[in-house]
Amino acid sequence: MTYNIRLDTPADGENSWAHRRDFVIGQILVLRPAILGMQEVLPNQRADLTAVLTGYDFVGGGRDDGAVAGEASPIAVDRRLFRITASGTFWLSPTPEVPSLGWDAAYRRIASWVRLERRRDRARLLAINTHWDHEGQLARENSGLMLAEWIAANRQPGEEVLLMGDFNTTVSDIAIRALLTEATGLQDTREAAAMGSSGPAFSFNGFAPMPMNGALIDHLFASSGMRVIKHMVMAEHANGRAASDHFPVVALLDLSAEGQPHCRE
C-alpha cells in the first residue's frame, strides 16, 4: 500500500491533520497492509501513527537530515509477517549520501528502503518508497534513472522488489518508463493485475471527496517474480471529506519463497 497522507499544515484549515488523523489511521487499520509506504510524513504525524499502529516497525528518515527533520517517506512493516534485516534512506540527487537538492527539483527528495525476510518461509523482499518532485521534470527523469541503477546494483539474488510512492507523474512519462525495464524486472501492478483494478483511474484528489477526474500519480511497481492479483485505488470519504489529498493505492501480491509454491500476502 502506498499513501501520501499530506503533511500537517495549518494552511489546510478544516483539512489539516488534526481533523483527519483518525480517518487516515482508520483506513490503515481496516486494510492492515503487510507493507505500507507513506509520503509527506512530518515528525508529529509519525508519532501519531506509531502510537496506534503498534504492530508495525517503521523505517526511513526525514529528507532534511536523514533522521527526524523534515518530511519523511517511511515504510511501515507488519512485524508479524516480516523481519527487517537492513534499511536506509538516500537522496535523489547527484550526492545521494548527504542531504541535497537534485537537479531542477523544488525540494529535497528521498527514497527509503528496507530489506525483509518473511518469517514463515524466509521469502525475501526489497521494498523501496519514494516521493518525486512535483515541479522538476529533469529531477523526475534523473530520479527514475537513479532508482533503476540503484535497484540493479543492490538487489540480491532470489530477492523480489517492490517500489512504491508518490511519483508526481503518470506511467506514460519517460521518467517512469525508465524503471519498467528488463534490467529492473519491474511491472506496473495496475497493468499486471490478474483481477484488474478497482476504483477511479486517478489517485490525486485535492481533498475533493468525489472528484470527477484527476491523475494517477501514486504507483506500486513489483518485480516479475511476484504475481499481481488485484490493484485498488481506495476512493473513500466520510462526512463529505477525503482523508488526504491523495487516495491510498493498494496491490494484492503473491510473494513466493525460492523453490516453494506461491503464498498470498
pLDDT at residue 60 in the model: 98
Rounded to an integer, the average pLDDT of 97-120 is 98
Q: What is the mean pLDDT of the chain?
A: 95
Rounded to an integer, the average pLDDT of 25-37 is 98
Question: In what helix (H) or strand (E) does residue 29 lie, and over which residues does it extend?
Answer: helix 17-31
Is 259's pLDDT higher than 50? no
Q: Residue 124: phi, psi to the nearest 5?
A: -115, 145
pLDDT at residue 209 in the model: 87
What nine digits make up the cell of 232? 485498488
Rounded to an integer, the average pLDDT of 192-209 is 96
Query: What's the predicted TM-score (pTM) here?
Result: 0.95
Spatial CA neighbour of 80 closest among 55, 53, 115: 55
Of the ranges 83-92, 209-218, 253-262, which one carries the lowest mean pLDDT score?
253-262
- Domains of the chain listed by start with CATH number: 2-264 (3.60.10.10)
**Which residue do the cell numbers 490478474 mark?**
194
For the segment 222-257, what is each residue's pLDDT rounded down to a tens digit? 999 999 999 999 999 998 899 999 999 999 999 986
